């Protein structure tokens, strides 16, 4: 069962989705440092989702329609805010380059955490995917979910790390090109708005799991 979970997790990480698509866009635009800090934020979000599921809080959130919609609308609003911020920047990204490394790190770290926690589709994914791969009659549900969560985080780190390496290669070779800068800017905006739309039209059911 663990092998099936690992294999399925690799396929999920490799398949095109909002997280890896935005990671590609961000790293291609701003380089590997931004990509790594965003990825760390995503992984922290995954750890929080794992803990919530292990202690049954994930299910309570999903079952409460008001909380579910609150998370959804906060997520959509946050993504629109990020899109507007990217739109207002100059094509040269001088504004982003003026940030100190620590400021840039925490900006993208928070972005990764918030994009993960304010996406109700992730709540649904964890609640419906993980319990299918319980592997022991001896270990408790909490321990098994925590083990599966840590495996999922490790797999995501490996696959998304490879995406960062590829995207940073694109950044290093094309970031000085004016047309690429314009393309990267609006590609980022498009990805953020796509994620916002996916969240906005998400419903509390199994058919919309990504």
pLDDT in tens, 50-106: 999 999 988 888 888 888 899 999 999 999 999 988 888 754 444 444 456 777 899
For residue 20, how many C-alpha atoms fall within 13 Å in the half-sphere facing its CB? 20
In a domain, 15, yes or no: no
Residue 20 forms part of a structural domain: no
**Structural domain includes residue 18:** no
Contact call for residues 185 and 89 (beta carbons, < 8 A): yes
Residue 14 domain flag: no
| 16 domain residue, yes or no | no
41 domain-assigned: yes
Question: Residue 67 corresponds to which tokens in the numbers above?
Answer: 């909380």
User: Alpha-carbon Rg of the chain, whole angstroms?
Assistant: 18
- Beta-carbon contacts of residue 70 (< 8 Å; ≥ 6 apart): none
**Do 71 and 124 contact (CB within 8 A), yes or no?**
no
Q: What pLDDT score was predicted for residue 100?
A: 65
Measure the N-to-C terminal CA separation of the chain; round to a whole number of Å: 21
Q: Is residue 19 part of a domain?
A: no
Number of domains, the chain: 1
Residue 172 lies in a domain: yes
pLDDT tens-digit readout, 7-24: 999 999 998 888 999 999
Measured CA to CA, the distance from residue 197 to residue 178 in angstroms comes to 29
Instruction: Give the residue numbers spanning the domain of 111.
Output: 2-7+26-208
pLDDT in tens, 130-189: 999 999 999 999 999 999 999 999 999 999 999 999 999 999 998 788 888 888 888 889
pTM: 0.86
């Amino acid at each position: 069962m663990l092998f099936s979970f690992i294999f399925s997790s690799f396929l999920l990480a490799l398949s095109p989705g909002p997280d890896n698509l935005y990671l590609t866009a961000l790293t291609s635009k701003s380089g590997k440092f931004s990509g790594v800090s965003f990825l760390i934020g995503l992984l922290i979000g995954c750890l929080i989702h794992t803990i919530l599921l292990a202690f049954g809080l994930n299910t309570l959130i999903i079952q409460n329609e008001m909380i579910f919609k609150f998370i959804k609308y906060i997520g959509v609003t946050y993504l629109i805010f990020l899109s507007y911020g990217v739109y207002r920047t100059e094509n040269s990204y001088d504004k982003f380059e003026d940030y100190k490394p620590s400021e840039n790190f925490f900006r993208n770290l928070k972005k990764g955490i918030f994009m993960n926690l304010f996406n109700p589709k992730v709540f649904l994914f964890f609640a419906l995917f993980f319990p299918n791969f319980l592997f022991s009659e001896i270990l408790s549900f909490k321990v098994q979910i925590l083990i599966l969560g840590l495996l999922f985080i490790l797999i995501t780190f490996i696959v998304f790390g490879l995406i960062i390496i590829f995207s940073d290669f694109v950044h290093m070779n094309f970031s000085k090109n004016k047309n690429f800068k314009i393309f990267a800017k609006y590609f980022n905006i498009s990805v953020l708005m796509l994620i916002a739309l996916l969240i906005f039209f998400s419903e509390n059911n199994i058919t919309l799991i990504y």
